């Protein structure tokens, strides 16, 4: 892979981390009127998978949508405005952080319901197949969604209809914690590897280290090429570690984040290969901080939506 592509992926990971950091601060200040789930520590999955996709491909996200949305190319100013509930957001402030929808880049829905976007993404994949346009769709979901009926039914239909759909499970089950900060095991998952369920649906599936962005990229590349060629769906499971609590304000429990931090790992790899040096790294971080700062200022300075906006988009309008 050329250095330009490697640095593009790295920049995306830094952008996600920087944007989420700013978002957490706005929640603490009361600017964002809601709590939300974060993606910190999982950046390699979104960046690695979306680096393989075209703008005309679609993704469906989760209740931790920022990584997926940013990696797919959503405008940062509109994204921050939507999270802040402003009129200048993608969805006029009505979607908030959990239901953002930006069809211009193929980001067709974050979802506050666990596994809720997967059946919709199945429809996107079916549309590509019917049109014969060579497009693919990616359904992101977590380990908790892997037992949802809609997810399992979508896997079955994708296989039966041989759809160009990639199921991406981000498994953070080692990181589930009690209110006291003690780790617990998920009791409702009956298999050691969620990817092993692919066998029952007649599709390939495997499990990878989700903190290694190059492993993510290679796995996604193979799955996407398979889908584009008409060979059907794939189930990819990525083991990930959340470096913050499930929501802003919850307890953090990693004694040493560095071993799981995908950005630190990738930075070391890039510097070892000579694709990145300290000065270039500082420039990337500074430029991404500036973009995020501009997005924050844009959102704060944007107007609140009119009361009438609440009723728009509910019924078909002439």
Give the start-to-end residue ranges of the domains of the chain: 3-303
DSSP state of 187: S
Please name which of 102, 116, 165 lies closest in space to residue 144, comparing C-alpha atoms: 116
Model-level pTM? Answer: 0.91
For residues 245, 251, 252 and 253, what is the CA-based torsion angle, rounded to 10 degrees? -120
Query: How far is the C-alpha of 66 from the C-alpha of 79, rounded, in Å?
Result: 9
Residue given tokens 């759909």 in the structure block: 165
Cβ neighbourhood burial of 313 (10 Å; 0-12, 13-18, 19+): exposed
pLDDT at position 172 is: 86
- What angle, rounded to 10 degrees, do the helices at 43-50 and 213-228 form? 40
CATH number of 3-303: 3.40.50.970
Query: How far is the C-alpha of 214 from the C-alpha of 230, rounded, in Å?
Result: 25
Residues in the chain, pLDDT under 50: 175-184, 251, 253-255
285 and 14 in contact (C-beta within 8 Å)?
Answer: yes
Query: How far is the C-alpha of 147 from the C-alpha of 191, rounded, in Å?
Result: 11
Query: CA 94, 22, 172: angle at the middle one, nearest 5?
Result: 85
107 and 29 in contact (C-beta within 8 Å)?
Answer: no
Query: How far is the C-alpha of 30 from the C-alpha of 34, rounded, in Å?
Result: 8
pLDDT at position 283 is: 98
Query: How far is the C-alpha of 96 from the C-alpha of 34, rounded, in Å?
Result: 8
pLDDT at position 112 is: 86
Report the 3 state secondary structure along 5-48.
HHHHHHHHHHHHHHHHHHHHHHHHCCCCCCCCECCCCCHHHHHH
pLDDT at position 238 is: 97
pLDDT at position 181 is: 43
C-alpha separations of 179 from 63, 251, 254, 255 in Å = 20, 8, 15, 17
pLDDT at position 184 is: 43
36 and 304 in contact (C-beta within 8 Å)?
Answer: no
pLDDT at position 179 is: 36
Structure tokens at 19: 């944007």
| 27-42 pLDDT, tens digit each | 999 999 888 889 999 9
| 267-311 pLDDT, tens digit each | 999 999 999 999 999 999 999 999 999 999 999 999 999 888 888
Cα 19 vs. chain centroid, distance in angstroms?
13
């Amino acid at each position: 892979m050329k250095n330009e592509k490697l640095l593009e992926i790295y920049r995306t990971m830094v952008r996600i981390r920087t944007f989420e950091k700013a978002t957490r601060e706005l929640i603490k200040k009361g600017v964002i009127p809601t709590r939300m789930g974060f993606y910190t520590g999982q950046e390699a999955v979104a960046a690695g998978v979306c680096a393989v996709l075209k703008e005309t491909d679609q993704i469906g996200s989760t209740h931790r949508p920022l990584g997926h949305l940013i990696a797919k190319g959503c405008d940062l100013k509109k994204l921050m405005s939507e999270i802040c509930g402003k009129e200048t957001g993608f969805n006029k402030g009505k979607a908030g952080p959990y239901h953002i929808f930006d069809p211009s880049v193929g980001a067709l829905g974050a979802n506050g319901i666990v596994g809720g976007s997967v059946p919709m993404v199945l429809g996107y994949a079916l549309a590509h197949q019917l049109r014969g346009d060579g497009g693919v769709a990616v359904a992101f979901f977590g380990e908790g969604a892997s037992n949802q009926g809609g997810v399992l039914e979508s896997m079955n239909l994708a296989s039966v209809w041989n759809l160009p759909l990639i199921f991406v499970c981000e498994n953070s089950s080692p990181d589930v914690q009690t209110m006291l900060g003690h780790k617990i095991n998920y009791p409702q998952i009956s298999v050691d590897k969620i990817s092993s369920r692919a066998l029952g649906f007649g599709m390939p599936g495997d499990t990878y280290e989700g903190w290694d962005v190059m492993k993510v990229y290679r796995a996604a590349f193979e799955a996407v090429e398979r889908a584009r060629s008409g060979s059907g769906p794939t189930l990819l499971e990525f083991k990930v570690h959340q470096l913050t609590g499930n929501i802003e304000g919850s307890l953090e429990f990693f004694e040493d984040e560095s071993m799981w931090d995908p950005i630190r790992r990738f930075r070391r790899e890039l510097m070892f290969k000579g694709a990145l040096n300290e000065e270039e790294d500082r420039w990337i971080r500074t430029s991404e901080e500036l973009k995020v700062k501009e997005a924050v200022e844009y959102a704060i300075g944007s107007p609140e939506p009119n009361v009438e906006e609440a009723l728009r988009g509910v019924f078909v309008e002439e």
